[in-house]
Amino acid sequence: MKQQPLKEGSSAPEIVLKTREGDGPVCGGSDGHWQDVATKELFSRKKIIVFALPGAYTPTCSSMHLPGYEAHYDEFKKHGIDEVYCMSVNDAFVMEQWANKLGIEKVKMLPDGNADFTRGMGMLVRKENLGFGERSWRYAMLVEDGIIKKLFSEPGISDNCPTDPFEVSDADTMLSYLKGDQAL
């Protein structure tokens, strides 16, 4: 039986991500060595944004989702955000090359190659209809000291979804929330 997605007030999953330490945007980069990074360390005593998407190099992820968070990064910082992380069920090498191709310099890339974080969030979906295997459902969340304070999950979470909803996990929605837009 599939786990239900986590809700606001839940603790974010505490897992270890396999990253590369070096000179790139993936909590380091590929010119170095393997580095285990615990989400507990990344999220503790911090106010962060994590947004997750189905995959590197995919159209919506590459043209709007990741670039939107990069473009608004400095505004997020002005609202007390310590860091902005992009999470995808891809490996560190793919995440680094994707960030390089898009010119991402501020948002940190978090590779969830084994889908451990995504599974722990209850956001792992099958996308065999697109040949993707298992991937993350699209969402964004505000996490404070490891606790999910606000979660914007795209509607209709399902396996083999015939569409790619992108309505509420965007940077503008998160920024509106941080500015106090009561309609959210």
Q: Write the CATH number for 152.
A: 3.40.30.10
pLDDT at residue 182, as a whole number: 58
pLDDT at residue 131, as a whole number: 76
Question: How many residues appear in the chain?
Answer: 184
More confident residue, 114 or 35: 114
Answer whether residue 1 is part of any domain.
Answer: no
Full-model pTM = 0.91
What average pLDDT does this structure show over 171-184?
86
Burial 89-111 (b: 16+ CB within 10 A, else e): bbbbbbbbbbbbebebeebbbbb
Answer whether residue 183 is part of any domain.
Answer: no
Answer whether residue 182 is part of any domain.
Answer: no
DSSP state of 46: -
As beta bridge partners, residue 150 has: 142
pLDDT at residue 33, as a whole number: 76
Cβ 116 vs Cβ 87: under 8 Å? no
Answer whether residue 137 is part of any domain.
Answer: yes
Answer whether residue 129 is part of any domain.
Answer: yes
Q: Is residue 133 scored above 90 in pLDDT?
A: no
Range of 106's domain?
16-172
Task: Give the whole-angstrom CA distance, residue 14 versus residue 68.
Answer: 27
Answer whether residue 9 is part of any domain.
Answer: no
pLDDT at residue 21, as a whole number: 72
Total domains, the chain = 1
Q: Of the residues 27, 61, 86, 161, which is catalytic?
A: 61
Q: Is residue 184 scored above 60 in pLDDT?
A: no
183 band by pLDDT with thresholds 50, 70 and 90? low
Of these ranges, 112-116, 125-129, 178-182, the one predicted with the greatest mean pLDDT is 112-116
Answer whether residue 155 is part of any domain.
Answer: yes
Active site residue 61: yes
More confident residue, 3 or 1: 3
Cβ 52 vs Cβ 61: under 8 Å? no
Q: Is residue 65 scored above 60 in pLDDT?
A: yes
More confident residue, 15 or 21: 15
Summary mean pLDDT of the chain: 91
Q: Is residue 141 scored above 70 in pLDDT?
A: yes
Answer whether residue 97 is part of any domain.
Answer: yes
3 band by pLDDT with thresholds 50, 70 and 90? confident
pLDDT at residue 130, as a whole number: 85
What average pLDDT does this structure show over 155-168?
94
